Amino acid sequence: MKKKISSKSAVKQKVSAGQKVLIAVGLVAGLGAIAAGAGSFDYDRYKARRLYYKQQQAMKTMQKTSQNKASQTVQTAQKKMAYKRVYPGMVVRPQGMSSLYYIGADFKRYQIPNAVTYKSWYPTNSYGNVVTIPKDQMQKIALAGNVRIRPGSRPIKITSNPKVYTISKGGVLHAVASEALMVQAYGPKWALKVADVPDVFFINYSIGAPFTSIDSDYAPKKALQSTPTIDYDLGLK
């Protein structure tokens, strides 16, 4: 005997069947939309953009590697800088530093305090004759003192004192007796030639007799002739 289905159950079954139909239709529509979207995706453009990003990344990596190699090369060159032949009369500079030193006839080094001092001995103002040597090689050369401004090259004064001096061999200072003498010795623009010596380097000089005559033994012209090189002023020759 067949079981009768109540009207309420029949409605539920109909609703359930309708829902299933709607879900199926929705799935088909969704799949169609996905398929449509996939069809509109520009795959070639995606590949080109991806390749561009990879190239940019590779370029940055190469640049960084190149910079690191260059830095390592410089550091290696600095560490492995070979000793150089050093002889009297040379002006040397320690690697990586600006300090200049004169190698004396005694094979010791004498610091050149400043540009004014250097240019009094090398009037061409050229630093082309300066030789750079390794720091450890420099440290093995005994430091014996400072180089003074070349005698007769120009008048000097102490930074903290207006008195003007001329210099003779051995760093002896002679106070100038009159402006007329300065004009005779250095010309009418003698004042422009006066060099200020910092107090700290003034101890490298000593005070002698005043400069009273252009014919004196320590007149600028004679002082220049008596000191052709730094060795002569240092008393090494």
Q: Percentage of the chain surpassing pLDDT 70?
A: 77
**What pairing do the DSSP bridges indicate for beta strands 172-175 and 164-168?**
antiparallel
Which is nearest to 96 in space by CA: 79, 83, 113? 79
Return the ∠ at Cα 212 (arms to 163 and 190), rounded to 5°: 55
What pLDDT was estimated at residue 87?
A: 94
**pLDDT band at 60, cuts 50/70/90?**
confident
What pLDDT was estimated at residue 10?
A: 46
What mean pLDDT value characterizes the chain?
83
Dihedral over alpha carbons 89, 114, 187, 208 (to 10 degrees): -80
Q: What is the pLDDT of residues 187-212, one digit of tens each?
A: 999 999 999 999 999 999 999 999 99
On the question of pLDDT at 23 being above 50, the answer is yes
Candidate from 21-25, 73-77, 186-190, 208-212 with smallest mean pLDDT: 21-25
Which is nearest to 203 in space by CA: 164, 162, 173? 173
What six digits make up the tokens of 179? 């402006």
Backbone dihedral angles phi then psi of residue 197, each to the nearest 5 degrees: -100, 120
What pLDDT was estimated at residue 233?
A: 97
Q: How far apart are CA 172 and CA 216, in angstroms?
A: 14
pTM: 0.66
111 vs 10: which has the higher pLDDT: 111
**pLDDT band at 138, cuts 50/70/90?**
very high
* AA letter at 207: I
On the question of pLDDT at 21 being above 60, the answer is no
What pLDDT was estimated at residue 11?
A: 42
What pLDDT was estimated at residue 174?
A: 96
**pLDDT band at 112, cuts 50/70/90?**
very high
On the question of pLDDT at 8 being above 50, the answer is no
Q: What is the pLDDT of residues 161-185, one digit of tens each?
A: 889 999 999 999 999 999 999 999 9
80 vs 232: which has the higher pLDDT: 232
